[in-house]
Structure 1
């Protein structure tokens, strides 16, 4: 299952998109937060289902998002909406049996299976890399007039013509970040990659990459503790940066940073657990990062507009440090 976000016109004539489908959304609230039915509800998005692509847009660069383990394609909606609102097509991917809950159009849900039933981690990563390239193949088919939707749902007007598959960025969080490096190694169609609090595994560690790559860390450099990541860093042959968001936790780069503070009074989690997940950074500052740095990366790498925040410290973001 994928979602596609894009600049639209006449959007309000179409239904507002839910954050997640109803059944999987209910599972998410129960399984990921421990809340009981009725204690909270997920928001609507700012998007509208099946709205036509903005006719003023010509070819639009594409940014693909790959999730972390047990996460779903919905969990970077803050970032996805920001990118789409500034002229990008964003494609978010769910990996069945890896994602926490994937709801299909007929209503059935596929849940993550235990790691012990998946084999070694390299097999899981190989599946993700193959799926990520498969999605690009289907987007290419779409751009040539095919409808790759399994249920033959009509494609929103103008979408096929708008896809610019000569400019494709890839970003991912956690295991999705590992996915980014390996997918770029396996598939040269990806022009740039952003690894958010992830790492690198497999052949790409020694081979490196010849395309731009941004590492985004939590509160400290993961290269200091992951030898393979440091080796990978030394084999990056084009533009590359390593930045850290001070005070952040592993989930500060997802929508959970926006949700959990609102749920703090009813969450069955001690404060220490919230600090473990989200660090000590103010939620508004973490969300400000989400609405600045991914777009700056896409701007600089896909449209060649240099963004200062990627190349030097910014007084607007004192939480960001550059790691040599």
Structure 2
């Protein structure tokens, strides 16, 4: 038996030019816990009244809609990343993404969602939740939480902010990568422009959902929409949640747009960058003035600095409608799909324990995934009642 195994191994080495290539790892998304099967579709939205600050054209966005489906039979399961998006995502400069992620060994295009492309929506008006991702992260890295919320009876709309997102694929296979002329994390003017653009993007998406609920098709190419999608939107109940820069985005959008009834900020700073090093940044209007609708500040014990504590304390000082909750043994990107996928990478030998801890913390996904889901789901269930 040993001789036979040795011969087979030698044959494999000869067939591969002396190197035995392992199959790339396929990552999994956590299964949604709600009672509803899910449909999904993408919309290409163009704001011809607004100039994109990064490339000078009309501002265009891509969004994904997740919703309870009336049937999924015959409708294919959507991938987390399309092949074109996955190819770009894999090859991007880690300075703008995460140096903890492996350069090789992952088939980023192979991860399946639990949502079925184009499935008809249940014709029942449901709360609408908008999602804004962190800086440089694509909307697709928030798929797991979006599916969880949709499976419990919400319509979830995840938004990309092109130009400062790692990759955005538009109809026809066109992929746009990061083209911000600098680093918004260190340039005060770029950061302000980025945040203002994100808030405007969020409000524009809400405008287009109003069109969709009224029976109009907001897609720039007028592509066919899933049956009953517009009827599934109850725009009297709108929430927004976001991570990092997306958390700041939805908090400020809550302050600026009264159509948004409640928001969850997952570890977003609530100020602009200071003009000079060593100074304190100007508080965002939401933290300066407060807000009269519910805002949840959801953080971890592993993401802390003076700026973070100062801006969240300013928000909490207004009392009343804002509260803070914390996840322990975790850090910043645990709120994204990496919270479930980084441990898979570690188990596959593609990520060290140290890098996993830097990215999401040492917390077990069996604890972090349900905890985050419960925080966000119960918050919206309480403040956007059915």
User: Does TM, normalized by the shorter one, top 0.5?
Assistant: yes
CA distance in 2, matches of 1:220, 1:266: 24
Structure 1 residues 22 and 204, CA gap change in structure 2 (3 angstroms):
same
Q: Residue 232 of structure 1 aligns with which residue?
A: 315
CA distance in 2, matches of 1:2, 1:226: 32
Q: Residue 330 of structure 2 aligns with which residue?
A: 248
The alpha carbon displacement at 1:191 in A equals 0.1
Q: 1:71 aligns with which of 121, 137, 160?
A: 137
The answer to whether 1:54 aligns with 2:122 is yes
| Contact 1:30–1:37, Cα closer than 8 Å, also in 2 | no
Q: Residue 252 of structure 2 aligns with which residue?
A: 182
CA distance in 2, matches of 1:217, 1:290: 10
CA distance in 2, matches of 1:50, 1:274: 35
Q: Residue 264 of structure 2 aligns with which residue?
A: 194
| Contact 2:238–2:262, Cα closer than 8 Å, also in 1 | yes
CA distance in 2, matches of 1:113, 1:270: 31
- Encode CA deviations 1:46-79: one digit per residue, 9 max, x unaligned: 1111111124xx2111011011001111112111
Q: 2:164 aligns with which of 90, 94, 98?
A: 98
The answer to whether 1:109 aligns with 2:175 is yes
Q: Look up the SS of the partner of 1:69 in the other structure.
A: coil
Q: Residue 19 of structure 1 aligns with which residue?
A: 80
CA distance in 2, matches of 1:260, 1:41: 16
Q: Look up the SS of the partner of 1:74 in the other structure.
A: helix
CA distance in 2, matches of 1:286, 1:105: 35
Q: Residue 144 of structure 1 aligns with which residue?
A: 214
Q: Residue 104 of structure 2 aligns with which residue?
A: 36
RMSD between aligned alpha carbons? 2.1
The answer to whether 1:134 aligns with 2:204 is yes
| Contact 2:329–2:363, Cα closer than 8 Å, also in 1 | yes
Q: Residue 88 of structure 1 aligns with which residue?
A: 154
Moved more, 189-198 or 284-293: 284-293
